Structure 1
Amino acid sequence: MHTYSKTQLAKRNGQDRDEIWIAFEGKIYDVTNSRLWRKGTHYEHWAGQDLTEELAEAPHTAKVFERFEVIGMLET
């Protein structure tokens, strides 16, 4: 599986490129086709970044990520 840097992830924010990616617990998910992530935002969350710490404030569990394709790993 391909590894991406935080800089590469940041470019997939729904503004700079067509792809919309987010990271969670080291995995990068493609949320491009999700109606909830149109234009790279989902409520107060922004695509192109690691959302691991922000999940604690979300009204859902990590199970929500199961519906999205893992397309890579976030470089540590």
Structure 2
Amino acid sequence: MLRLTPAQLKHYNGKDKPEMYVAVNGKIYDVTHVKQWATGSHHGHKPGTDLSEAIQHAPHKTKVLKWLKCVGTLVKPNK
């Protein structure tokens, strides 16, 4: 399992690295092969970001997360 800071997560955007990951509530999910993310964004949201706040406003809330593979944990950067 990965342990990524928000700065490291940004590289998993489908451009810097081929994988596309998003974080929600401290967990990192792989959206690389999810058709809704095929264009490199989903309803204006970009991969490589923390969508914890945004998903609360989505009609599906966190229900869709059960279909995604959890690949790691979002951690606070070391100071």
> Could you tell me the TM-score, scaled by structure 1's length?
0.90
The structure whose residues are more often helix, as a share, is 1
1:1-76 paired onto structure 2 within 5 Å: 1-76=1-76
Identity %: 39
- Structure 1: segments with no counterpart, 5+ residues: none
**What is the number of residues matched between the two proteins?**
76
1:4-41 Cα offsets, whole Å, 9 max, x none, are: 11111100112222100000000000110101111420
> Could you tell me the TM-score, scaled by structure 2's length?
0.87
Paired residues of 1:14 and 1:39 also in contact (CA < 8 A): no
The SS at the match of 1:40 is coil
1:46-68 Cα offsets, whole Å, 9 max, x none, are: 11010000112212120101101
The letter of the residue matching 1:55 is I
- Structure 2: segments with no counterpart, 5+ residues: none
The letter of the residue matching 2:14 is G
Paired residues of 1:13 and 1:48 also in contact (CA < 8 A): yes
Deviates more, 1:63-72 or 1:8-17: 8-17
The structure whose residues are more often strand, as a share, is 1
| Bigger radius of gyration | 2
